[in-house]
Structure 1
Amino acid sequence: MEETMSPRRLPTYLVAVACMGVTGCGEQLAYPDSIHLANFQTLSSGHEEGGEFCRDFNLTSEQAEWFFSRAKLMDARQLYERFDHLPCWVRGAARSNRGIWQWEIRAGGTARVVSPEGKAELFGCDECDAVLTGAGNSAQ
């Protein structure tokens, strides 16, 4: 079962994620509990069985950061109802003041972020087709 952040923590987290990739947000936000992800690294890409059609799906570190700057926190039902679950994925890591976070972005516009403590959060991005389809190499 996926764990979620407490309501007290959630707004600060969303502000931090929404701020990533926007000019002027390179510094730590002024919230004591904020989580500011930085230093994105793309570590691997691949696909599940049956996903040979997407073997070219790949994202740069900058594109991953761009994706998360626009993605919204969602629950599993919201992702299921609004997005396609595609077998193509890119995995990587980002750093915060709490440690290393693992992330995975899928070609259908969904993502998963796992905190250093092992808590997983799900994200969806309606505005990210530019980087997900390969047309967004300049979308950063």
Structure 2
Amino acid sequence: LCHNNHKDSVIREKLRNAGLKGLQGVVKKTISDDLQVNIWEAVHMDKIVPSLLFNMQEQSDTDDNGDPESPGEEEDSPAHLAEAVFRDLIRRASFRNINSVIAPVLVHLDNHNLWVPNDFAIRLFKIIMFSVQNQYGYLVDRKS
């Protein structure tokens, strides 16, 4: 649902929001419950992180085109929700699984040639550095 590409923008936004809310629920539920599946494994992060980045990237693309959204609409946008889930995911990452989040980010940036122009990459790393737990910041710096 996060990658829905329906031609009607209202339907597309609703479906993407539904997918992102599902991911948000998965992140909140499985991270706080030791009996659930370990979402930090690469097989899961390789699906979750690109879905979030795809929706965050959509916002960057529309911002570049000069199509500003009103402040009320921005809170309901898939890009805003994806960024909130991404921040939450990073905040919950511990020492042993922060790399599980960073690796898919780097792969996504490489696969979609998002290093140049580097506006989206810089924005992502600002989000990561401000969201990661302070004691793990050096891992992000070392990885990138």
Pairwise TM-score range, normalised by the shorter structure? under 0.3
- Larger Rg belongs to: 2
- Greater fraction of residues in helix: 2
- Greater fraction of residues in strand: 1
